[in-house]
Amino acid sequence: MIVILKSGTTAEQTEQFSDILRKRYCVDIHTSVGAQSTVLGLVGDTKAIDVDSLNAFPIVEAVRRVQEPYKKANRKFHPDDTVIDVGGHKLGGGELQLIAGPCSVESEEQIISIAESVKKSGANILRGGAFKPRTSPYAFQGLRQGGLELLTEAKAKLEMPIVTEIMSADHIEFFNDVDIIQVGARNMQNFELLKELGKTDKPILLKRGLANTIEETLMSAEYIMSNGNENVILCERGIRTYETFTRNTLDVSAVPIFKKLSHLPVVVDPSHASGIPWLIEPLSLAAVAAGADGLIIEVHNDPPHALCDGAQSITPEQFNSLANKLFLISDAIKEVNNSKN
Amino acid sequence: MIVILKSGTTAEQTEQFSDILRKRYCVDIHTSVGAQSTVLGLVGDTKAIDVDSLNAFPIVEAVRRVQEPYKKANRKFHPDDTVIDVGGHKLGGGELQLIAGPCSVESEEQIISIAESVKKSGANILRGGAFKPRTSPYAFQGLRQGGLELLTEAKAKLEMPIVTEIMSADHIEFFNDVDIIQVGARNMQNFELLKELGKTDKPILLKRGLANTIEETLMSAEYIMSNGNENVILCERGIRTYETFTRNTLDVSAVPIFKKLSHLPVVVDPSHASGIPWLIEPLSLAAVAAGADGLIIEVHNDPPHALCDGAQSITPEQFNSLANKLFLISDAIKEVNNSKN
Amino acid sequence: MIVILKSGTTAEQTEQFSDILRKRYCVDIHTSVGAQSTVLGLVGDTKAIDVDSLNAFPIVEAVRRVQEPYKKANRKFHPDDTVIDVGGHKLGGGELQLIAGPCSVESEEQIISIAESVKKSGANILRGGAFKPRTSPYAFQGLRQGGLELLTEAKAKLEMPIVTEIMSADHIEFFNDVDIIQVGARNMQNFELLKELGKTDKPILLKRGLANTIEETLMSAEYIMSNGNENVILCERGIRTYETFTRNTLDVSAVPIFKKLSHLPVVVDPSHASGIPWLIEPLSLAAVAAGADGLIIEVHNDPPHALCDGAQSITPEQFNSLANKLFLISDAIKEVNNSKN
Amino acid sequence: MIVILKSGTTAEQTEQFSDILRKRYCVDIHTSVGAQSTVLGLVGDTKAIDVDSLNAFPIVEAVRRVQEPYKKANRKFHPDDTVIDVGGHKLGGGELQLIAGPCSVESEEQIISIAESVKKSGANILRGGAFKPRTSPYAFQGLRQGGLELLTEAKAKLEMPIVTEIMSADHIEFFNDVDIIQVGARNMQNFELLKELGKTDKPILLKRGLANTIEETLMSAEYIMSNGNENVILCERGIRTYETFTRNTLDVSAVPIFKKLSHLPVVVDPSHASGIPWLIEPLSLAAVAAGADGLIIEVHNDPPHALCDGAQSITPEQFNSLANKLFLISDAIKEVNNSKN
């Protein structure tokens, strides 16, 4: 970490400030006095140093981190890709994983029928909402525990691991049979929830928040990992911008950036990113081309009658056609990367 | 609610669709067949209707709400300002309330000394963080329950009501002596927490999320209110934009918009909105001029040594000068409004 | 166009308002009186009607366009893809076009050598900046007319059509030998320039503005087309968001949306979208997978010594490797689309 | 300017790089070798150095400007407020200036009648659009030269200086009788226009672009000033964010920030910032409280029949009431600032 002092800072002020830093953060200070300004290099474990508390000193011109503030999620300290095994299916190992299912679990018949069809199309993991975060308190809130039971039934019947969203640390006990616990975009910085999930050993699918940066997303992964659970899957699901044509704007750049900065697997959710069924195919193809390890896609047998988010779901037939294309493009991308790099 | 059907929709399709709406939502349907398109008016309680589930029908061109989706927070159904009494101090009653104190409670000495000085300057309510949401798991997380105890001591000693942030519904039991429970920006759509706070009778200071709309903020207030607790105070604290000079961009328009759409009191947090001490005065003045009922301001006796967010705190002396100005401008605004409207 | 009147609007007010609309815009009005509100359908040529001027009437609740406000750029009225021939190379015809070259033309040697190498790698069109829009008046402003001359030399020597940016209608006369005139993001709503370009017959590469919507981009294309020049190529180059890791955020969704709403060719500029060389490959692959007709990429033989934007340029060697991958993926996408749709 | 080199950079690489910098930019280099990284201080005139071209060097970790890249607009080099005299009325001198008038000049009767009424209410400067930038080529484009003539008539008749927008450098000759030339948000980075305006001696009202930063706005002012015209008035008119309730989001913080960083006068346009008539009063009050030197407000005698932007105009009666309030609050703010600072 480098601290640039304002021009005009005296040697005495510099020394006093350095003393404070040494005591407070147990770091060594290397001072370089230049013509324009004095620069301090802080050497040691700086990840707990709050940039803002340094900026509060009147003599500080600027603070610049040289090292990323995340460690466990950082590829620098863990060069190999993390591969997460979910019921025999690998996320992050170079094989494209499709996660599919309805926005909300609505009935036994619905979840089983969708699960059957998406499995046939090549999806290895079943998604389905039981606890549903809804903007309105008057909207359908999901079947909650009842939904988890139906998901578990579908899991048993189809031998598909399941992923579903958690909305409160109080519900962790209900998620025993869930294979991947999803943290939704609205809870990405619900730090108390992240800490509790860090004490479990379940893979966590962490969705990027509505308007969170790539670094903040990695810091939220770090919350889970530093509490003991290193099985985190990052998920890009679109960010909030001024554009109103789509519900969110898919930040496809996040895929290669997450892969470069971190060793964690990355999946993309084109359904929430766009909110428009006919965009799901091109966005899914783009995500795979950009290097995504998997996709999580909303599929509903009867979108107009879906109890939630029907407008962004595709049908099982559309998913089948899409899955075929995605596996072909995934293979082409693998080939291209192997031959050329 | 008005649903515009695509041109080319047949009478039979219209009738089928209307039937579905009638059954599913218990609404009456008024059909207007125009040259360009057919328009359906949905009459009844439409607040639970999900716009997206209507958009999922292939024959739907557009859906337009005529009524706001929030009811309890809506000024239309509650024309008078809600006035919330906090230990004898009124929020929303036309009197400017200053809420001040440190970002984090750090020690008995610190909180008592800051409380004394801000009280002397005219702040009626003491703020102080005990549970701290931090982007990094390695940053100071607050004194937690210990911090609540110190706040309670300060409350008793200075006879000032206190406001502090909650981060999990599991902690509600610790907040018995807290006068106003704050929901931070990152938890604004932590719906399970909102529901639980709706079952308490404490005033809730609800901060607008990083990138949440005005309507979404009112829907989160509605979560609390529809669960039984109508004592909600709205808080504008800056939103995330592309501008990097300030930490966030204060959306001062939110103040008059909240006051127009809702009857709830509105406070502004200039400290988080800007992150820069010298902006706190002009932004506070602007907020009062725009109609804010109160301000919540970070004050620290020794900003460079604050354990959190020191860079955006002002000193007790600066707060004293600011408070004087704010009361004068508040009076001027009241006078102007009375004489001219 | 549909106008929803406020509830409580009288029949007389409705009639008066309808009269105004009929006279002012030469449209027919179809009135549908519903229980909740009256809805007017405006039939005729509504593209010149300003939504805001309708909203100014106190009785208007909402205005909703049923037809897009652009006509010439609209796929509805021109279902087939527009194919633009540039020196024998087709943009929009299903064949991937690579446009490559330096940010700024710096010298004869530089432009010829880069042109040679990108041509060898498969780029058919040469880019190079002569007039450079720079945030700072003190930064290198391009070689201007001298740059155009060097580009023309390179064009002659290598038989490659050239594309370069225009910054003022006053310069059109200098662009006689230029094959495609580029309108930069900062001039996307320089309407006087667009009108003048509409009077030429040169293909125009229109870059989406920093924070312009997809619809606004199409309206700017409409400015050019309605003035007589229908040879417009749309270009997505990243939009401004809160994310600071990349210079801009590539909105890859814009590609399929432009292709759906419009018949115009679409190219993507991954260099400006990201500002980071190692992102150019994954973003280019994503753009092709999402359906882009071409890519425009900055290539510099010596990025650190580039006079402008060196930080985002790739080397000729990197471009060669990238071009190979892009043609392979483009073929794979074509195959997939043909076999599956 | 400070350049931080990557750890692992050799002494030889450092020396080579320093040599390049010295030759290319005529700067002195002060090298500080620390434990973590080497830091170079560039001493001399660094405002023309492009940060990106430094970032292109593989050994560069980060570049940090210590001095702002604008000089003429910088308060550091011009501590006193610039006061611009417009027909005897001072902008920037501590006196609140109201600029008012219709969005578009429509007829002699209209402009004279509005001018008379706003003058009576205390507006010293008349605004009115002649050349109108419209998103759609089919929308009313202003009366253009005819509009300028009507404005000039109003100016003569009412002895009010006039401000109106320019859209092309080709039109400068028509602006002889115009007192302040406005550069609209969409042309804020039309650098060729800025350069030409820099060669005139007219005061320029420079509107911040849709999504431009505060620094970029100052750099555009610098374009005008470095070409010889130092009479620039900065204008905050709302920025583009994700919020859809208002047309734009007024960034009220920009007012004190512009005043701190620059010596130029600052006015606020609440009409375009909000697009909603009932927000104009609270936003105007907020702008004055935050330190604005003036306001530019759209007033129309018959908003529903305005040919442009009627929805955001207020009536002369509303303007009269508003002006009274603004002068009172402006006085109160002045008093408060004088007594307390």
Convert the pLDDT of each residue in D182-234 to its tens digit: 999 999 999 999 999 999 999 999 999 999 999 999 999 999 999 999 999 99
Among all chains, which residue has been given the structure tokens 């020049």? Answer: C229
DSSP output for D50-77 = -HHHHHTSTTEEEEE-SS-S-STTBGGG
CB-CB: which of D244, D290, D321 is closest to B286? D290
Chain A interface, best mutation among D1, D3, D4, by max A CB count within 10 A: D4
- Among B256, B317, B307, B308, CA closest to B286: B256
Secondary structure class of B243 (helix, strand, coil): coil
H helix and E strand count, chain B: 10, 14
CB-CB: which of D250, D260, D332 is closest to B328? D332
Q: Helix H segments across A121-233? A: 145-158, 191-198, 214-226
The residue in chain B having the minimum alpha-carbon distance to the alpha carbon of residue C32 is B32
Beta strands in chain B (DSSP E): 2-5, 28-33, 38-43, 60-64, 84-86, 89-91, 97-101, 125-127, 162-166, 180-183, 204-207, 232-236, 266-268, 294-298
- The Cα of C42 is separated from the nearest Cα of chain B by a number of Å equal to 8
CB-CB: which of B55, B133, B312 is closest to A189? B133
Taking CB atoms and an 8 Å cutoff, what residues of chain C touch B45? none
> Cβ atoms within 10 A of the Cβ of D328, count?
18
- The Cα of A262 is separated from the nearest Cα of chain C by a number of Å equal to 14
Higher-confidence position of B260 and A309: B260
DSSP output for A74-118 = BGGG--SPP-EEETTEEESSSS-EEEEE-SB---HHHHHHHHHHH
> Cβ atoms within 10 A of the Cβ of A12, count?
8
Share of chain C above pLDDT 70, in %: 99
Is the CB of B340 less than 8 angstroms away from the CB of D332? no
Chains sharing 3 or more CB pairs under 8 A with chain A: B, C, D
The residue in chain D having the minimum alpha-carbon distance to the alpha carbon of residue C189 is D186
Average pLDDT of the segment spanning A144-164: 97
Is the CB of B36 less than 8 angstroms away from the CB of C240? no
Average pLDDT of the segment spanning C66-89: 93
Chains sharing 3 or more CB pairs under 8 A with chain D: A, B, C
Residue A35: pLDDT band with limits 50, 70, 90: low
CB-CB: which of D7, D34, D41 is closest to A37? D41
Is the CB of A139 less than 8 angstroms away from the CB of B48? yes
Is the CB of C222 less than 8 angstroms away from the CB of D137? yes
Query: What sign for the dihedral angle of Cα D251, D255, D256, D258?
Result: positive
Taking CB atoms and an 8 Å cutoff, what residues of chain B touch D279? 253, 256-257
Is the CB of A69 less than 8 angstroms away from the CB of B136? yes
Chain D interface, best mutation among C46, C50, C55, by max D CB count within 10 A: C50
Is the CB of C310 less than 8 angstroms away from the CB of D190? no
Higher-confidence position of D338 and D335: D335
Per-residue pLDDT, B339: 73
Helix (H) or strand (E) holding C133: none
CB-CB: which of B279, B290, B335 is closest to D256? B279
Residue C157: pLDDT band with limits 50, 70, 90: very high
Q: Are strands D294-298 and D97-101 parallel, antiparallel or unpaired?
A: parallel
Convert the pLDDT of each residue in A44-74 to its tens digit: 888 888 888 888 888 998 888 878 899 999 9
- Among B290, A263, C287, A298, CA closest to D281: B290
Taking 70 as the threshold, does the pLDDT of residue D138 lie above it?
A: yes
Taking 80 as the threshold, does the pLDDT of residue A140 lie above it?
A: yes
Taking 80 as the threshold, does the pLDDT of residue A299 lie above it?
A: yes
> Cβ atoms within 10 A of the Cβ of B145, count?
12
Taking CB atoms and an 8 Å cutoff, what residues of chain A touch B140? 50
Is the CB of A257 less than 8 angstroms away from the CB of C246? yes
Taking 60 as the threshold, does the pLDDT of residue C15 lie above it?
A: yes
- The Cα of A48 is separated from the nearest Cα of chain B by a number of Å equal to 5
Per-residue pLDDT, C36: 66
Per-residue pLDDT, B323: 98
Per-residue pLDDT, D35: 65
Convert the pLDDT of each residue in C97-138 to its tens digit: 999 999 999 999 999 999 999 999 999 999 999 999 999 999
Per-residue pLDDT, C2: 84
Average pLDDT of the segment spanning C142-165: 97
CB-CB: which of B30, B41, B242 is closest to C240? B242
Helix (H) or strand (E) holding B65: none
Mean of the per-residue pLDDT values for chain C? 93
Per-residue pLDDT, D223: 97
Is the CB of A289 less than 8 angstroms away from the CB of C335? no
Mean of the per-residue pLDDT values for chain D? 93
Is the CB of D33 less than 8 angstroms away from the CB of A35? no
Is the CB of D56 less than 8 angstroms away from the CB of C311? yes
Per-residue pLDDT, A99: 98
- The Cα of D218 is separated from the nearest Cα of chain B by a number of Å equal to 13
- The Cα of B118 is separated from the nearest Cα of chain A by a number of Å equal to 20
Taking CB atoms and an 8 Å cutoff, what residues of chain A touch D28? 35
Span of C50-59, C312-321, D31-40, D268-277 with lowest mean pLDDT: D31-40
Convert the pLDDT of each residue in A240-289 to its tens digit: 999 999 999 999 999 999 999 999 999 999 999 999 999 999 999 999 99
Q: What size, in residues, is chain B?
A: 341
CB-CB: which of D244, D252, D260 is closest to B213? D244
Taking 80 as the threshold, does the pLDDT of residue C238 lie above it?
A: yes
CB-CB: which of C246, C253, C289 is closest to A289? C289
D297 DSSP assignment: E
Per-residue pLDDT, D340: 52
Per-residue pLDDT, B310: 75
Chain C interface, best mutation among D13, D191, D300, by max C CB count within 10 A: D191
Convert the pLDDT of each residue in D239-289 to its tens digit: 999 999 999 999 999 999 999 999 999 999 999 999 999 999 999 999 999
Residue D24: pLDDT band with limits 50, 70, 90: confident
Average pLDDT of the segment spanning A18-42: 83
- The Cα of A34 is separated from the nearest Cα of chain D by a number of Å equal to 6
φ, ψ for residue A332, nearest 5 deg: -65, -40
Taking 80 as the threshold, does the pLDDT of residue C66 lie above it?
A: no
Per-residue pLDDT, C35: 65
Tokens standing for residue A307: 């109890």
Share of chain A above pLDDT 90, in %: 76
Taking 80 as the threshold, does the pLDDT of residue A340 lie above it?
A: no
Per-residue pLDDT, B36: 67
Q: How far is CA B26 from CA A58, B18, B66, in A?
A: 64, 11, 17
Taking CB atoms and an 8 Å cutoff, what residues of chain D touch B285? 289-290, 333
The residue in chain C having the minimum alpha-carbon distance to the alpha carbon of residue B244 is C242
Secondary structure class of B256 (helix, strand, coil): helix
pTM summary value? 0.94
- Among D30, D139, A227, CA closest to C25: D139
pLDDT (tens place) for every residue of chain B, 341 residues total: 888 888 889 999 999 999 988 988 888 888 877 766 788 888 888 888 888 888 888 899 888 887 889 999 999 999 999 999 999 999 998 999 999 999 999 999 999 999 999 999 999 999 999 999 999 999 889 999 999 999 999 999 999 999 999 999 999 999 999 999 999 999 999 999 999 999 999 999 999 999 999 999 999 999 999 999 999 999 999 999 999 999 999 999 999 999 999 999 999 999 999 999 999 999 999 999 999 999 999 999 888 877 777 788 999 999 999 999 999 999 999 998 887 54
DSSP output for C47-62 = TT--HHHHHTSTTEEE
Convert the pLDDT of each residue in C249-307 to its tens digit: 999 999 999 999 999 999 999 999 999 999 999 999 999 999 999 999 999 988 887 77
CB-CB: which of B70, B190, B212 is closest to A187? B190
Average pLDDT of the segment spanning A136-159: 95
Is the CB of A39 less than 8 angstroms away from the CB of D2? yes
ipTM for the complex shown:
0.94
The residue in chain A having the minimum alpha-carbon distance to the alpha carbon of residue D246 is A242
CB D245 within 8 A of CB D213: no
Taking 70 as the threshold, does the pLDDT of residue A42 lie above it?
A: yes
